[in-house]
Amino acid sequence: MHLQELKLTQYKNYYFDHFTFEEPVIGITGSNGVGKTNLLDAIHYLCFTKSYFTLSDSSNVQVGQEGFRLEGIFDKAGGPFKVACVFRGQNKKEVRCNELEYDKFSQHIGLFPCVMIAPDDVDIIIGGSEPRRKFLDTILSQINANYLQQLIIYNKILQQRNTLLKQYTETRRLDNTLLDVLDAQLAPAGQAIFNERKAFLETFLPLVQQHYEDISGTHEKLQLEYDSQLLNTPFDAALRGSRSKDLYTGRSNTGIHKDDVVFKMQSEPFKQFASQGQRKSLLFALKLSEFDVIREHKGFSPILLLDDVFEKLDASRMQHLLDQVCHYEDTQVFITDTHKQRLEDALGDLEVQHQIISL
Ligand SMILES: Nc1ncnc2c1ncn2[C@@H]1O[C@H](COP(=O)(O)OP(=O)(O)O)[C@@H](O)[C@H]1O
Ligand SMILES: [Mg+2]
């Protein structure tokens, strides 16, 4: 799959711009603040119907304007496909593929997969559990439509349940029947998500381990484990068991929204034990594994978006990463860098066709 063209209208710093991408590797260069990250995020937006960095659509609207429009032409089997995202302000958003508007944005997810690597992604390694769940959800949502559906249901019901519990702590009045109804809806969705995560991680985590060994050039044994309250208890039983605690704390203490993936090295927590270099190796191992899994499921490469990775990565890790993804003929990679010469040198060393866009 390739993105051939991108048009941005009133999107962040782009008032109206049109780009064409002709080569498998596209280097994007320019000084700080010219819009390199914004350009990658626009591509991400077309693939996911949302920004990688922010939940709020309105922050992507150019200051002083009311809405934005993004348009991309993707080439893949059965294509070309023209994808358009239009945001008109106040939550009015439309996504179309070849002029056909989706009923639900979720129908679009996974059709044009992409993998982003951005500087703050190191949070997946050193941050709380949320960025790890998000990482997991991003992969599974792109390869498993039912997973995404269950996740949407789960999050909606969980929010309603939490509102009810919070009301109870404030008013001491409880609609028990409603809570039972919500639990009856939450349980199957949560159980389904747990089952999918568990099955997925059984093959995914060994893949990460393998990539980590390749990237770091060592046989350092990582331990990667799925951690969930549902590992030992079915979710419906766990929900019943936690109800009294939920009532006095005013929130849902049990469920797959508490899941985590634990990284360890020599039985110590990875984030405390590992050096900067080891953290980067693990991050790139996770992302390369994401790339592999999506490629295997789709039968084509997801677009790879690499934001400022030269800042973070030494030459040999960078080379390894690009070698891994560029030996597939259909891979398209976007790489940003502030140093034009460094980017040109790095891409020149690669035996792959590339173009440089100077912003
Ligand atoms: N909503 C917006 N409207 C106009 N400009 C914006 C908006 N959001 C961000 N910007 C501008 O985008 C620029 C940052 O772009 P970014 O892609 O992060 O740059 P780079 O990655 O090249 O350093 C800043 O100059 C910022 O002022
Ligand atoms: Mg940037």
Q: Is the shortest distance between the CB of 36 and ligand 1 below 6 Å?
A: yes
pLDDT (average), residues 311-335: 82
pLDDT recorded at residue 18: 98
Q: 129 pLDDT band (50/70/90 cuts)?
A: very high
Residues 268 and 272: their CA atoms lie apart, in Å, by 7
Q: What is the pLDDT of residues 242-278, one digit of tens each?
A: 999 999 999 999 999 999 999 999 889 998 888 888 9
Residues 86 and 247: their CA atoms lie apart, in Å, by 42
Q: Is the shortest distance between the CB of 77 and ligand 1 below 6 Å?
A: no
Q: By the 8 A CB rule, do 27 and 343 touch?
A: yes
| Average of per-residue pLDDT values in the chain | 94
Start-end of CATH 1.20.1050.90 domains in the chain = 124-300
Helix (H) or strand (E) holding 152: helix 145-171
Q: By the 8 A CB rule, do 263 and 223 touch?
A: yes
pLDDT recorded at residue 327: 76
- Report the separation in Å between the CA atom of 135 and the middle of ligand 2, taken as the mean of its atom positions: 20
Using H for helix, E for strand and C for coil, what is the string for 316-358? HHHHHHHHHHHCCCCCCEEEEECCHHHHHHHHHHCCCCEEEEE
Between 63-77, 173-187, 204-218, 226-240, the lowest mean confidence (pLDDT) is in: 204-218
Q: Is the pLDDT of residue 314 over 90?
A: no
Q: Across 88-197, where does the E strand assignment appear?
A: 93-97, 100-101, 114-117
CATH class of residue range 124-300: mainly alpha
The number of the ligand 1 atom at minimal distance from the alpha carbon of 13 is 5
Q: By the 8 A CB rule, do 213 and 220 touch?
A: yes
pLDDT (average), residues 52-72: 96
Residues 193 and 157: their CA atoms lie apart, in Å, by 14
pLDDT recorded at residue 183: 98
CATH level 2 (architecture), domain 1-113+302-359: 3-Layer(aba) Sandwich (3.40)
- Report the separation in Å between the CA atom of 33 and the middle of ligand 1, taken as the mean of its atom positions: 6
- Report the separation in Å between the CA atom of 113 and the middle of ligand 1, taken as the mean of its atom positions: 24
Task: Name the residues around ion ligand 2, CB cutoff 5 A.
Answer: 36-37
Q: 321 pLDDT band (50/70/90 cuts)?
A: confident
Q: What is the pLDDT of residues 283-298, one digit of tens each?
A: 999 999 999 999 999 9
Q: What is the pLDDT of residues 154-192, one digit of tens each?
A: 999 999 999 999 999 999 999 999 999 999 999 999 999
The number of the ligand 1 atom at minimal distance from the alpha carbon of 359 is 22
- Report the separation in Å between the CA atom of 136 and the middle of ligand 2, taken as the mean of its atom positions: 24
Q: 322 pLDDT band (50/70/90 cuts)?
A: confident
Q: 331 pLDDT band (50/70/90 cuts)?
A: very high
pLDDT recorded at residue 333: 95
Start-end of CATH 3.40.50.300 domains in the chain = 1-113+302-359
pLDDT recorded at residue 271: 87
**Could you tell me whether strands 2-11 and 68-75 are parallel, antiparallel, or unpaired per DSSP bridges?**
antiparallel
Residues above pLDDT 70, as percent of the chain: 100
Please state the pTM of the whole predicted model: 0.95
- Taking alpha carbons only, the member of 95, 27, 78 closest to residue 309 is 27
Q: Is the pLDDT of residue 318 over 80?
A: no
The number of the ligand 1 atom at minimal distance from the alpha carbon of 65 is 3
Nearest residue (by CA) to ligand 1, atom 9, is 12
pLDDT (average), residues 126-142: 97
Q: Is the pLDDT of residue 316 over 90?
A: no
pLDDT recorded at residue 345: 86
pLDDT recorded at residue 346: 83
Q: Which amino acid is at 34?
A: V
